[in-house]
Amino acid sequence: MIGPRTPLGKPAVHLLGDDDALAYLRLGAGAPVVLVHGALCDYRYWAPQVRGLCERFEVAALSLGQYFPKVSSSLRHRFGWRWHAQQVAGFLASYGQPVHLVGHSRGAAVAWQAALQRPAAIASLSLFDPGGPLPQGLPEDVLAIRARAIALLGEGQVEAGLECFVDSVSQPGAWARSSASFRQMVRDNAQTLVPQIGDALPAYCRAQAATLALPVLLVTGELSPAQYRDNAAALAGWLPDARHHVLAGASHGMTFTHARRCNALIAEFVAAHRG
pLDDT at 232 over 70: yes
What torsion do the CA atoms of 157, 160, 164, 165 make, to the nearest 10 degrees? 60
H/E segment holding residue 209:
helix 206-211
**Mean pLDDT, residues 117-129 taken together:** 98
The Cα 85–Cα 82 span in angstroms is 5
Domain boundaries along the sequence of the chain: 12-136+205-272
The whole-chain average pLDDT of the chain stands at 95
| Average confidence (pLDDT) over 2-16 | 85
Residue 265 has pLDDT above 80, yes or no: yes
Query: Could you tell me what percent of the chain has a pLDDT over 70?
Result: 98
Cα–Cα nearest to 129, from 248, 52, 225: 225
Mean pLDDT of 193-209: 96
Burial code (b: 16+ CB inside 10 Å, e: under 16) for 122-149 equals: bbbbbbbbbbbbbeeebeeebeebbeeb
Name the band, by pLDDT with cuts 50, 70 and 90, for residue 75. Answer: confident
Q: Are 105 and 252 in contact (CB under 8 A)?
A: yes
pLDDT band at 275 (very low <50, low <70, confident <90, very high): low
Tell me the HSE value of 242 on the side-chain side, using a 13 A CA sphere.
Answer: 20
Q: What is the mean pLDDT of residues 82-87?
A: 98
Q: How confident is the model at residue 99 (pLDDT cuts 50, 70, 90)?
A: very high
Spell out the long-range contacts of 14-20 with Cβ–Cβ below 8 A and sequence spacing 24 or more: 14/91, 14/94, 16/86, 16/87, 16/90, 16/91, 17/90, 19/73, 19/76, 20/65, 20/73, 20/74, 20/77, 20/87, 20/90
Asked if residue 3 has pLDDT above 70, the reply is no
22 pLDDT more than 90: yes
Q: What's the rounded Cα separation, in Å, for the pair 70 and 91? A: 18
The predicted pLDDT at position 55 comes to: 94
Confidence of residue 236 (pLDDT cuts 50, 70, 90): very high
- pLDDT category at 7 given cuts 50, 70, 90 is confident
- Taking 90 as the threshold, does the pLDDT of residue 44 lie above it? yes
What span, in angstroms and rounded, lies between the C-alpha atoms of 91 and 87? Answer: 6
How big is the chain, counted in residues?
275
pLDDT at 91: 98
Q: Of the candidates 106, 136, 103, 98, which has an alpha carbon nearest to the alpha carbon of residue 40? A: 106
**CATH H-level, domain 12-136+205-272: superfamily:** Alpha/Beta hydrolase fold, catalytic domain (3.40.50.1820)
The pLDDT of residue 1: 58
